Structure 1
Amino acid sequence: MIDLDDTDRRILRALSEDASLSSGALGRRLGLSQPATWRRIRRLQQAGAFQSRRLDLDLTRLGFGVTVFLGIKLAAKGRLSLEDFERAVSAIPEVQTVEHILGSYDYRLRVTARDIPDFERVLRRRIMTLPGIGNVDANVMLSEERLPGPLG
């Protein structure tokens, strides 16, 4: 576990809201010098508090209006390694996340598509053809609220 002080938490909170902030802009916002802010960001990154800064795309504006969460139960775990399934499903561009979970399903996938017919095409032609697929449960996302997380 990484030991965080209040300033570290404020830095992480600000970067989680806007990862494009420069160390100078972040320092001005938090009342720190640019070099001190840069050193703290570098220390946090080296400690593994965050792995990268990423671009958060607006999928709806880019033409991907449907997000579906799939629960996947593998039919034959003995014949198909989990790594093989993960590698195959990760190669499908519409699959945004692959989560190995404990519970009713083996995996939870977040799939984006242009619309429901496009999702059906992805499901039939790409996901359902993967070896080892057993039961599939689909849940269409109606709306999403982003929460600040444990640092909030």
Structure 2
Amino acid sequence: MLDDADRRILRQYQADPAASSAQLAERAGLTPATCWRRLERMQAQGIIRGVRGVIDWRALGYTVEVSLRITLDKSAPRAFDDFAAGARKIPEVLEIQTFLGQVDARLGIIARDVEHYQEIYREKILTLPHITDIDALMHVARVKFDEQVPL
């Protein structure tokens, strides 16, 4: 599906998504026209899904990060869907993951401080439907976080 030239382009693109196609072409050893066509093809195929702005939420005053492991009432036919729909409406929920196993879902939550987290937990999280158990994990340090794909 991808050849060596595509992989070179993607490596350069991951390293510097704001680079122009001419800059990417030079770094990948291709002509600008060839690089541009390949970028367009990879976007059309959904390999490149877009460029996004990444905002450091800590710089905005959010100092607390918590992971909540949620167990749902699986006897309710729409438990996952109803829970996810409610969790999507909470602005402080940055991530929702679902699992097969003992834990059904994980929410990644940010808060300004512990008091703000308690407010979110009591007023928003505990009102979500179909929850039977919650386990909270307070983040201490992010040891590794990398969205780059090995190419």
TM range (shorter): 0.7 to 0.9
Shifted more, 83-92 versus 23-32: the winner is: 23-32
In structure 2, what is the Cα distance between the partners aligned to 1:81 and 1:148?
A: 30
Q: SS at 1:61's partner residue? A: helix
Q: CA deviation at 1:77?
A: 4.2
Shifted more, 139-148 versus 125-134: the winner is: 139-148
What's the TM-score, normalizing by structure 1?
0.86
Select 2:38's aligned residue among 25, 37, 40.
40
Corresponding residue number in structure 1 for 2:123: 125
What's the TM-score, normalizing by structure 2?
0.87
Alpha-carbon contact 2:79-2:130 (below 8 Å) kept: no
The residue type paired with residue 30 of structure 2 is L
Q: CA deviation at 1:148?
A: 5.7
* Residue segments in structure 1 that go unaligned for 5+ positions in a row: none
Alpha-carbon contact 1:72-1:107 (below 8 Å) kept: yes
Among all aligned residue pairs of Structure 1 and Structure 2, give the percentage whose two residues are the same amino acid: 35
* Residue segments in structure 2 that go unaligned for 5+ positions in a row: none
Corresponding residue number in structure 2 for 1:61: 59
Corresponding residue number in structure 2 for 1:146: 145
Shifted more, 97-106 versus 141-150: the winner is: 141-150
In structure 2, do the counterparts of structure 1 residues 7 and 142 end up closer, same or farther at CA, with 3 Å as the change threshold? farther
Residue-by-residue CA offset, 1:4-25 (whole Å, 9 max, x unaligned): 2222223223333332222122
Aligned-residue CA RMSD in angstroms? 1.9
Corresponding residue number in structure 2 for 1:92: 90
Aligned residues: 150
